[in-house]
Every structure is written in C-alpha cells, then in structure tokens.
Amino acid sequence: MRLIITRHGETEENAKGILQGHQPGKLNEKGILQAKKLAEKLKNEEVVAIYSSDLARASDTAKEIHKIHPDARIIFVEELREKNQGSLTGKLIKEIDWNKPRDTEKREAMIERAKKILDLAYKEHPKETVLFVSHGGLIQILMSILLNKSIEEIKKLGKIENTAIFIFDVKEGEYTFVNCDKSIR
C-alpha cells in the first residue's frame, strides 16, 4: 500500500493562534487555496480511498482533493481527529500554562486510534494508494509509529505545516518513508 498523509489547510483559528483540538475549525482564504493546490499536487497519484478526520477543517480539505479524485472513496473517521484538548480547547496558545495539569487526551489513546486506522487502511487496501487527511498532533503520532521513533524524536523534526505531504510505502506492517513535501503554501 502507498500511504499519503497530509494536514488540513490553514484555518481562521490557526491564523489567530487558537488551540483547536476537537473544534471543527474553518478554513480561511489561504487554507482554501492551500487545499486546492494540494489537490492539484496529488492529481497524478492513483488514490482509491481518502480517509479524513471528520472535523470540518480536515473534511473540507479532503473534499477539495476529492474533486480531483472523484472515483476515490471518501471516508470521514474520528480516528484521524486532532488531540482532544479538553478545557484548553479554544484558548490562545501563547496564553496556555503547559506546566499545569490538564484534562487532555492521553498520548496512549491517540496511539491506539492511529494504529487502528493504519490497520484498517492496510486491511482494506493492501496494494493501493490511500490518503489520510488529518491534523498536526495526530500526524506526529502516525509518523512515530511509521518511522518507529519516539514522539520526542518526531517533534524534533519540526512543526507539521498545513498541507505538508508525507508518503510511505507499506508492506505487511513494514513502513518505508518515500518522500516529504512541505512546499505547498
């Protein structure tokens, strides 16, 4: 299976520095343009299925890609959602005290749902190309699984930019990193 992973386009909340968590998020003008450019960039990929977070910012990005791949099955799933940020949701990131105890989703729960969607996609499409449209935090979790690295090592690679593309080849539980494109702006 070829697995392409991308993050949603920029949202109004991203531009304002708001922690979105499970909020839907609304693509801003730049984010809509990013989603269109992303779709165009992926036009030559033979995508048979698009798995997208069911949160609006990701699903709206996936719908733009689906316009270029109308024959691909599009599936909206909770497993690809961003981390549930609990009571931090909707707050300005620069004002959050990260040292205080939080009621946020645990990393183990995110890993469990990431593994679940990876297993499902491979089971359904072992020899096809699949696209995941997700969020920065969940993509870091996916990358840690796929690259067999700790989340701390993945975070050192830098922020997952809006509409960045990561490509992996998957064969019976083995993942080979193929390419990364952070150029879509």
Q: Which residues carry out catalysis?
A: 8, 82
The residue type at 134: S
Cβ within 8 Å of residue 139, ≥6 positions away: 5, 7, 160, 166
Render the burial of 109-147: b for 16+ CB within 10 Å, e for the rest: ebbebbeebbeebbeebeeebbbbbbbbbbbbbbbbbbb
Tokens of 32: 């809509």
Residue 94's Cα: distance from chain center in Å?
23
Contact 52, 75 (CB under 8 A): yes
Helices assigned H by DSSP within 42-181 = 56-68, 107-124, 136-147, 151-156
Query: In Å, what is the CA distance from 182 to each residue of 25, 41, 93, 112?
Result: 21, 12, 23, 27
